[in-house]
Structure 1
Amino acid sequence: MKTFIRKYGVLCALLAISLTAFGQAGYIKAKAILAQYLLEDAWQQTLDDGQPHKPWDWADTFPVAKLTVPSQNIEQLVLSGASGRNLAFGPGHLLSSNLPEQPGHTILGGHRDTHFEFLQYLKAGDELVIQDKLGVTHHYKVTQIEIHNIETDQIQDRGINQLTLVTCYPFNTLEVGGPLRYLVHAEKV
């Protein structure tokens, strides 16, 4: 037995560490998949009665809209608030901006390596569709794409009937955070 442990001890330890890491990754993935079903259920309840519904009892957010990008075959629920906790489950509505059913400027934020990774492929003229909590769809056309430095620039209120999608920039980098933001502006059509 001692010979086995000497020969294969390191291999067994590495195998145990690998299995633990894969188990944790599987748990995180399973939690994310389950969350999407719970979010869809909460959104359907919201469409049914126009009231916000939390996806699970201890959630500090709820779906406020559904974002569809036909050219990318993307459908995502938008959550109330754009905190790090919320953005782990989907794009978030910046609370300082208007909701889609209100006239004004709506701003949505998302992570560049998950829900808003597709922003890098959008171009002027692409269609964005937002379904609000009343089930009304709002159609937008991408009008401008720009990069801002949050240390020196401010996102300007673009007036009524405007939508801005925001994510960190550059895409496909290992650097976390940073001052650059990728903005996709769209106007209601």
Structure 2
Amino acid sequence: MRGSVRKILLVFSFVLILLGFWFSTTNAYTFIKGYMLFQTDQTHIVNSAEEPSKQHKDNLKQKKLYTIRPNKGENIGNLLIPKLNATLPIFHGTDEEELENGVGHFDKSVLPGEKDNSVLSGHRDTVFRKLGEVGKGDTLIVETSAGSFTYKIRHVRIVDKDDRTVIVPKPRATLTLSTCYPFDFIGASPERYILVADLISQKLT
């Protein structure tokens, strides 16, 4: 009796071992295959999720407005002052030669439309003789080869002629206009009349 039970248990154990071996090998293959497919799918999902993010970042990059930088003395566009119904030519540079012909663009500052501080200067007795009539809330428009850029004046300052804060960098596209002050002063003016404007719209060419 005991011998028969022992044989049955041995056969049963052998069958269980065979089943276990078959089950483990076949499932191991399935598991490995499924894991590899899962990893491939996950990589695809991750890459798909990253693609819009990269594209979004690329879209946020500012379009390069000017492929060629102007030479000194070159006409780079016009300054329109709607309040005065005036259209004034802008020349690259602020030496007397440029200021005699129109508005001068400080060549160490960015070009109009670009992020940072674009600085324009003019004589109070020529192009900017009526600039004192322009103030906070008024608009300024600059037209260049890159397009049309509209700025809104947010601040009017009167500073010492040696005040260098007029040309400091700005975190956003800013237009700064500068001229001698007081407007009716005879001789070398001791101060400067400053208009600081923020870019509010643009039409690129």
Which interval holds the TM-score relative to the shorter structure? 0.5 to 0.7
Q: Deviations over 1:5-46 (max 9, x none)?
A: xxxxxxxxxxxxxxxxxxxxxxxxxxxxxxxxxxxxxxxxxx
Q: Match for 2:130 among 118, 129, 135?
A: 118
Aligned residue in 2 for 1:102 = 114
Alpha-carbon distance between aligned partners in 2 of 1:71 and 1:180, rounded to the nearest angstrom: 23
Alignment partner of 1:188 is 2:183: no
Q: 1:165 to 1:53 in 2, by over 3 A?
A: closer
Q: Deviations over 1:77-135 (max 9, x none)?
A: 1001010111011010000110014222100000011101121000211011011123x
Q: Match for 1:179 among 190, 199, 205?
A: 190
Alignment partner of 1:150 is 2:161: yes
TM-score of the two chains, using structure 1 as the length reference: 0.64
Which structure has the highest helix share of the two? 2
8 Å contact from structure 2 (residues 103, 122) kept in 1? yes
- Structure 2: 5+ residue stretches without partners: 1-66, 201-205
8 Å contact from structure 1 (residues 52, 64) kept in 2? no
Alpha-carbon distance between aligned partners in 2 of 1:173 and 1:88, rounded to the nearest angstrom: 19
Alpha-carbon distance between aligned partners in 2 of 1:146 and 1:78, rounded to the nearest angstrom: 22
Alpha-carbon distance between aligned partners in 2 of 1:164 and 1:62, rounded to the nearest angstrom: 20
Alpha-carbon distance between aligned partners in 2 of 1:147 and 1:139, rounded to the nearest angstrom: 23
TM-score of the two chains, using structure 2 as the length reference: 0.60
SS in 1 for 2:165: coil
8 Å contact from structure 1 (residues 52, 63) kept in 2? no
Deviation of 1:52 (Å): 8.2
SS in 1 for 2:101: coil
Return the index of the structure with the highest Cα Rg: 2
Give the CA RMSD over aligned residues.
Answer: 2.1
- The number of equivalent residue pairs is 133
